[in-house]
Amino acid sequence: VPELPEVETVANGVHTRIAGETVLDATFSGLAPTFLTPPHILGPALIGARIEGVRRVGKHIVCDLTPPAGEPTQFLVHLGMTGRLLVSQPEVPRPPHTHAALALSSGRELRFIDPRRFGRLALHTAGPFTGPGSEPLTISPDEFARLFRGRKLAIKPALLHQGLLHGVGNIYADESLHLARIRPSTPAGRISRPRLDRLHGALQSVLRQAIALGGSSVSDYVDAEGHRGFFQLQHRVYARTGLPCSTCSTPIRRVVLGGRSTHYCPRCQR
């Protein structure tokens, strides 16, 4: 499942390749449930629009559009589990499960491919899209601490709660809790301010490092050109059950918290 660093990598890659281009044509599969906005509305909104830029908000990729007439709109792409957004030359055959292909003024195509169809495409017209929660890369330590005040929820599921912080998923929650030396099952509201500050710093540093390495390639994630990321080689606890902790050599333990696999070092994380 692509998380914040992977979505950021894809958004930045697509931005570099297509910002400033105009959408000349659009082809859709129309298959449910991919289209939150139906193709008969999406098509006319996209065709003729200039793509001002592509950026990440939470786990969404936002294409900022200026249509030939009317208000600026935003085309939202959520990659779901297996979604990919690729910039391709038109002569490259469209892969199976291509749900959207936008012909661009450069001659290239922006393609959305999604075999399992957990991804979503939508048009957002009501002002700038901000997503449900706070942005983990820019939230201040004070705002971060305020999110968890009085919460009985364990810190691991609290980090995954998209209404609190958007974009943090299983890998980066586990990794940042290990870096901050906090047990994932600790009730969020019971963590002291100095430890929350440590977690704030750890989360931002883990996310920035992962973005610098092009994200983590687990399952189907690839960037805008189809390359895999390298952050999985840096994982300290994620999917390392039974392997020695990089800090103290204690075997990494796996538990299920809030329905999700959780990996931690029983010695370093208290």
Binding interface with Zn ion (CB under 5 A): 245, 247-248, 250, 265, 267-268
Q: Is 59 a catalytic residue?
A: yes
> Which residues contact residue 140 at a Cβ distance below 8 angstroms, ignoring those fewer than 6 apart?
none
**Which of 17, 254, 260, 267 is labelled catalytic?**
260
Q: Is 156 a catalytic residue?
A: no
Q: Is 108 a catalytic residue?
A: no
Residue nearest to Zn ion (CB): 245
Q: Is 2 a catalytic residue?
A: yes
The nearest distance, CB 245 to Zn ion, in angstroms, is 3
The nearest distance, CB 177 to Zn ion, in angstroms, is 12
Instruction: Choose between 177 and 268: whose C-beta lies nearer to Zn ion.
Output: 268
Instruction: Choose between 62 and 268: whose C-beta lies nearer to Zn ion.
Output: 268
User: Smallest Cα–Cα separation from 30: which of 100, 117, 122, 115?
Assistant: 100
> Which residues contact residue 185 at a Cβ distance below 8 angstroms, ignoring those fewer than 6 apart?
154, 155, 156, 255, 257, 262
**Which of 6, 21, 56, 59 is labelled catalytic?**
59
β partners of residue 165: 134
Three-class SS of residue 124? strand
Say if CB 19 and CB 66 are below 8 A apart. no
Backbone angles phi, psi at 34, to 5 degrees: -60, -35
Instruction: Choose between 116 and 270: whose C-beta lies nearer to Zn ion.
Output: 270
Active-site positions read: 2-3, 59, 260
